Amino acid sequence: MTSKSPLLSRVLWCALIVMLSALFIHAQTDLTGFWVFKAPRGDGTFTESYFELKQSGETITGNTVGGRAQSPVNEGAFRDGKLRFAVSFTGRGGQKGGTPQTLTTTYEGTLQGDKFAMTMTGGRGGRAGRGPTTGEFQRTKAEAAMPPAKLPLPALHDVRDNKLARTPPMGWNSWNKFAGAIDDKAVRGIADAMVSSGMKKAGYVYVNIDDTWELGRDANGNITSNTKFPNMKALADYVHSKGLKIGIYSSPGPKTCAGYEASYGHEAQDAKTFAAWGIDYLKYDWCSAGTIYTDADLQAVYQKMGDALLKAGRPILYSLCQYGNNKVWEWGAKVGGNCWRTTGDINDSWQSLDRIGFGTAVPGGIRKEGEPAPPGLTQYDIAQGATVGHWNDPDMLEVGNGHMTTDEYKTHFSLWCLLRAPLLAGNDLRDMSDDTKSILTNTDVIAIDQDPAGLPLKRVSQEGNTVVYMRPLKGGDIAVGMFNRGDRAADISVSWDSLGVAGKKLQVRDLWKHAAVTVSGDKYTANVSTHAVVMLRVTAK
């Protein structure tokens, strides 16, 4: 036993030396500087989150960098080769104007050489059920975290009308249901379902891929698709073979909203690539452009892509996604826009629908430095800003996504049709209930949206939680929507005099019951359930 003691002592001394050396190295590690957390997404791309850290002893402080707003680093500590910190972000639940929420992201990692093996838990903008994300935390340079320099913008001019979207576009978009989980197989399945479900017959044409299709750029600067979309040209050919059209998504900033490659500095090149693939529709989302430009630059920025699309060699419908900022309805058509977003993102809830459809969800103008935001507007207030070929867009449909009642989805669809809004379904067309299918394929209501006259709606009355809208149609008919925004059933009336048809012989059809309505006297009254609508088409002879 005694003879083994020297060997045991040497082993213990070696272990102690290794441990002390490690502690010395960790003690000498100064984490002050710029860092990036890179995590693989599983499609050939990486998320990138940038930080500027400061170290004082074992305490770590700092901020996120590179976005429009910085968030402080909290609870930061580095000891024994392990780094931990948290970042909290206060945002709005679901959309602008929603309930404020504080979301906290925690980062924990172990030093391995000159970088950390890092795990992120939680996350800003994270979706329900999202688990921990693993990746590498490594040093970077300050310029990597900052947006690129602002490029010169063109002088303003009117972009030639592309003659598309003579009625509001109809189709489908991947974001509301799939977000980043969309891929080639799903898009092909949606195209098949659009035909087999009867939606194509009802007028739906566009199958639109939203964010997360991008990879990066090749040696010649051409944008490329990631592993979820191995061949965009082949996918477009498949969609076209079904008698449908295909859409895609990008941003005028360096990154899309989900942090993928965007079109900044490559507008003309990307427009030609989209045309070569066979793309028919472009949704162009402001996103990271806001880190470079101000809202005052919106018109020139969107004009740049509008010009590029006209020169691309293929008709491509141009959809502006800039959340209604800078009164886009006053200049959207001038930049070649066929439709433009008038509000923040919708979500699948009555509160979101009510606010966007009826409330003051539309930005009132540009907020100058140090001034409060101008008062918001309603979709009704800006209805005159849309004309044939150039439509206000209060965002995509949530019909069938499961968090509203059938009556609420009918209200959603009816109001969008009265507003002459694009009808872009956002549910999984491969698995629709009978109720969902009946709403989305109601050709009587769709005809109101697609009426070729394209006249704006008018408000007939508004009392408490009830509102009545009407819209003149080509040929003299009148569409009427009687909406109950309240939490209990209500009687709602519309007088024939308010529609300008008093004293005439009337034929009235209920567009959800698909039946004629018997009328008498000088008005029509209906008992309307909570969050429901009665939709009429009035013919006067």
Own/partner contacts of 324-330, CB < 8 Å, gap of 24 or more, are: 324/361, 324/362, 324/363, 325/286, 325/295, 325/298, 325/363, 325/366, 326/295, 326/296, 326/298, 326/299, 326/363, 326/365, 326/366, 327/363, 327/365, 328/298, 329/382, 329/385, 329/386, 329/392, 330/385
Q: What are the sequence ranges of the domains in the chain?
A: 27-143, 170-428, 460-540
Within 8 A by CB and 6+ apart from 437, the residues are 197, 198
Burial class (CB in 10 A: 0-12, 13-18, 19+), 84: middle
What topology is assigned to 460-540 in CATH?
Answer: Immunoglobulin-like (2.60.40)
Give the angle subtended at the CA of 40 by the CAs of 39 and 43, to the nearest 5°: 155
* Active-site residue, from 43, 183, 270, 285: 285
- In the structure, how many helices (H) and strands (E) does the chain have? 13, 26
Residue 210 designated active-site: no
Rounded-to-integer distance, Cα 151 and Cα 265, Å: 8
If you search the block for the tokens 């059933």, which residue do you land on?
489
| Residue at 210: amino acid letter | D
Written as one string, the DSSP assignment of 508-529 is EEETTTTEEE---TTEEEEEE-
DSSP class of residue 390 equals B
Give the predicted TM-score (pTM) of the model: 0.91
What topology is assigned to 170-428 in CATH?
Answer: TIM Barrel (3.20.20)
pLDDT tens digits, residue range 148-186?
999 999 999 999 999 999 999 999 999 999 999 999 999
Rounded-to-integer distance, Cα 112 and Cα 117, Å: 7
| Cα separation values, 191 from 54, 185, 208, Å | 52, 10, 10
**Can you give the length of the chain in residues?**
541
Structure tokens at 359: 């409330």
* Active-site residue, from 211, 345, 393, 449: 345
Which pLDDT score is estimated for 276?
98
Mean pLDDT by 10 residues, the chain (541 residues): 54 52 55 97 95 96 86 95 92 48 91 96 56 94 93 97 98 98 98 98 98 98 98 98 98 96 98 98 96 95 98 98 96 98 97 98 80 88 97 98 98 98 98 98 98 97 97 98 98 97 96 96 97 98 90
Q: How many CB atoms lie within 10 A of CB 372?
A: 7
What topology is assigned to 27-143 in CATH?
Answer: Lipocalin (2.40.128)
If you search the block for the tokens 């906290």, which residue do you land on?
104
Residue 345 designated active-site: yes
